[in-house]
Amino acid sequence: MAAGSSLFANDRLKWMRDENVRPYVFVRDENRIPQPGQHHAKLDWFPHEVLYKNPLKMDEVGFADRILSLETKAFGPSGMAMPRWVFYDCAIVPGFVAGFAHRTSALPASVRNVLGVEDGDEWTPLSLFIIIPTMSRDGEWVAHNLCSVNSLLAKEDQFYGIGFLSKSFGLWYANVKTCCGMTQWTSPSVRLHSHYGDFEILTAYTPVHSYSRTLTYRVKVDVGMWPAFFTKKAEDGDFLNRYVPAGFDVDPTDEKSLISFQRRLERREGPYFLHGTETISKALTDRLTVFKKK
């Protein structure tokens, strides 16, 4: 791995410098990205040699099994584990699957225990990010799945930032310019998703989803905003120069508040945005300021 990225100076991210950890791409041949990272060329976070696995090869099925085992464990508590056929029909065939993997022979015991790893497998996935292209005319992608082993590990055993960096890697590698996605209002993932670009709320209350308290978002991907996830203070002068409080806030725990926000969106009073830095400086259940463009 080449050194040189300012990101690697962060001691909490030293696992990124470990030769036993690699980003992986699990994409059928036809969906491979011709010039990875070209659109976000100024980002130097991923000099690693990328591990490529082809999901349509029978001999790679063990890697798919291990991804799904991780995913089932990570999403089990929320009741949203992905059925195996959804992984194939909705992710592998149309989309792009990526994450970080660890050389199995060098796995820490804590990870080995929570994932129930078998020694015969050379690489063990530690995280998963799935994006799928949408029908939108401007080439928007949808973030379909994000999970990491951190949600299963004690704090001291975690790979700090691996969830955030898995999504970063996928957006960077696949040259994604616009990405929408969905999550639940009090999920820790709101903190991650709101740092990839200005975070526009498309739906605040979503009864068509299995969980109505789901929000749908869109970001125009801006790698310049990504370091703020780690520094926590943001080049956010920039955000606050461009956005002002819209005059109301949202209570992630209160259905009435979410429905009222949704009604505003349906009346086309927006577009409305959340401020990434605010999401990481408050508790997951705290009220959040809603912003409008200046």
Residues lying near ligand COA in the complex (CB under 6 A): 74-75, 78, 146-148, 150-151, 160-164, 183, 187-189, 191-192, 280, 284
Nearer to ligand COA, 150 or 246 (CB): 150
Nearer to ligand COA, 74 or 219 (CB): 74
Q: Which residues contact 229 (CB under 8 A, 6 or more apart)?
A: 161, 164, 191, 192, 195, 276, 280
Nearer to ligand COA, 148 or 206 (CB): 148
Nearer to ligand COA, 136 or 285 (CB): 285
Tokens linked to 143? 């973030």
Going by C-alpha positions, the residue among 97, 107, 98 that lies closest to residue 15 is 107
In angstroms, rounded to a whole number, what is the distance separating the alpha carbons of residues 220 and 203? 17
Q: Give me the least distance between CB of 294 and ligand COA, in Å please.
A: 27
In angstroms, rounded to a whole number, what is the distance separating the alpha carbons of residues 271 and 18? 42
In angstroms, rounded to a whole number, what is the distance separating the alpha carbons of residues 150 and 231? 20
In angstroms, rounded to a whole number, what is the distance separating the alpha carbons of residues 205 and 266? 11
Q: Give me the least distance between CB of 70 and ligand COA, in Å please.
A: 9
Nearer to ligand COA, 78 or 105 (CB): 78
Q: Give me the least distance between CB of 131 and ligand COA, in Å please.
A: 12
Nearer to ligand COA, 139 or 188 (CB): 188
Q: Give me the least distance between CB of 77 and ligand COA, in Å please.
A: 8
Q: Give me the least distance between CB of 146 and ligand COA, in Å please.
A: 5
Q: Give me the least distance between CB of 59 and ligand COA, in Å please.
A: 28
In angstroms, rounded to a whole number, what is the distance separating the alpha carbons of residues 2 and 5? 9
In angstroms, rounded to a whole number, what is the distance separating the alpha carbons of residues 192 and 18? 23
Q: Which residues contact 32 (CB under 8 A, 6 or more apart)?
A: 25
